[in-house]
A = this chain, B = another copy of it.
Amino acid sequence: MPTNPSWILRSYPSAMPSVENWALEDRPIPQPADGELLVKTLWLSVDPYMRGRISPAKNYATGFKIGDLMCGGGIGEVITSESPEFKPGDVVMSDHFGWQPFSVIPAASAKSVTITDAPIQSALSYLGMPGLTAYFALLKTATPKVGETVLISAASGAVGQIAGQIARIKGFDPVAVAGSDEKLEWCRELGYRTGVNHRSSADLVADVATACPEGVDVFIDNTAGPIHDAAMLNLNTFGRVVVVGTIALADRFDQPDIGVRHLRRTLITRARIEGFLLDDHEGEYEIGIADLQSWYKQGLLQTREDVAEGVETVPHAFVRMLKGENFGKQLVKL
């Protein structure tokens, strides 16, 4: 009987997660019940939101318990279908893929992957959650005007790389914040006007001011932390801040985030600071996908993936993504 090495949550991380928080257990290949599919995993996605699910704290979704199989976004091939909607050989995506080679997923969570003119893993990247997050966070929540300065943190990451290019396509003025000069160089290739390296900067507030001489009109905040402060202190009147992620807090997730509070700045600038969750835009995904596909076909969108290989690498890939050691959308190929 073929084995199914599966990553189980062993402990909640108290600071930055490490691979020791998970254990690889050999489990049998599960059998689908009615309304379920057995799928062979082709790609797994590791995403910042999963940090919140390995915490005992309340979050949008129920977290994993100690001993639970880890799950997340993935793409796989249907092996056995107990649903009339899918048949063996179908390629599907779902957020219910286990960190394991063979998963049972609810058929209701699965969507056929019908991409023909791009690699199928794009459904986990620019044609999936990160691309749509960039699209709606920028165009629907932040609503920049042509010419406005749009600062984007984690600018070369899964969401940032797409947000920067949409900003350029739409005539905004995108400015990157990223963690290495190499990443910033690539951001410039994508069309970011300029950028700030937050790891080498001695004065992030001053460096953001230099990079944004007319101030920050829109901030797509994928990080929180000191970059958020630098953006707030450079924010223009009627600035819009979209809180998309808080990855800079990955190492102190369950402790209060103590620091400078910007309520007076919010008042003076009449800023609008808004939390973003992609699920709230579900009814409009098709519009976003159509635009992203069209831009890709026109050669207007580049994307970069950082691919780890093999089921044994999944927690490593997750942790390096949390630490910003990835370059582009972090995926695991099984």
Contacts and interface: CB of A to CB of B under 8 A. Distances in A.
Contact of A261 (B257, B264, B267): B257
Contacts of A60: 268
Contacts of A260: 256-258, 261
Nearest to A59: B268
Contacts of A264: 224, 246, 249, 257
B258 A261 contact: yes
A258 B262 CA distance: 9
Contact of A275 (B228, B257, B267): B267
A277 B270 contact: yes
A274 B271 contact: yes
Q: Please give the count of copies of this chain that the complex contains.
A: 2
Contact of A267 (B58, B245, B267, B268): B245
A206 interface: no
A243 interface: yes
A266 interface: yes
A233 to B, nearest CB: 10
A203 to B, nearest CB: 16
Nearest to A265: B275
Contact of A263 (B52, B243, B271, B272): B243
A264 B225 CA distance: 11
A274 B268 contact: no
Contacts of A122: none
A268 B274 CA distance: 10
A64 interface: no
Interface string A234-269: 000000000111100100000011111101101111
Interface residues of A, number: 33
Nearest to A270: B275
A263 to B, nearest CB: 4
Given A224-B263, A246-B263, A268 B258 contact: no
A19 interface: no
Contacts of A273: 266, 271-274
A276 B270 contact: yes
Nearest to A256: B260
A-B complex: 3 closest residue pairs judged by Cβ atoms: A270-B275, A266-B275, A267-B275
29 contacts: A59-B268, A60-B268, A221-B263, A243-B266, A243-B267, A244-B267, A249-B263, A249-B264, A256-B260, A257-B263, A258-B258, A258-B259, A259-B261, A260-B261, A261-B261, A266-B275, A268-B275, A269-B275, A270-B274, A270-B275, A270-B276, A270-B277, A270-B280, A271-B273, A271-B274, A272-B273, A272-B274, A272-B275, A273-B273
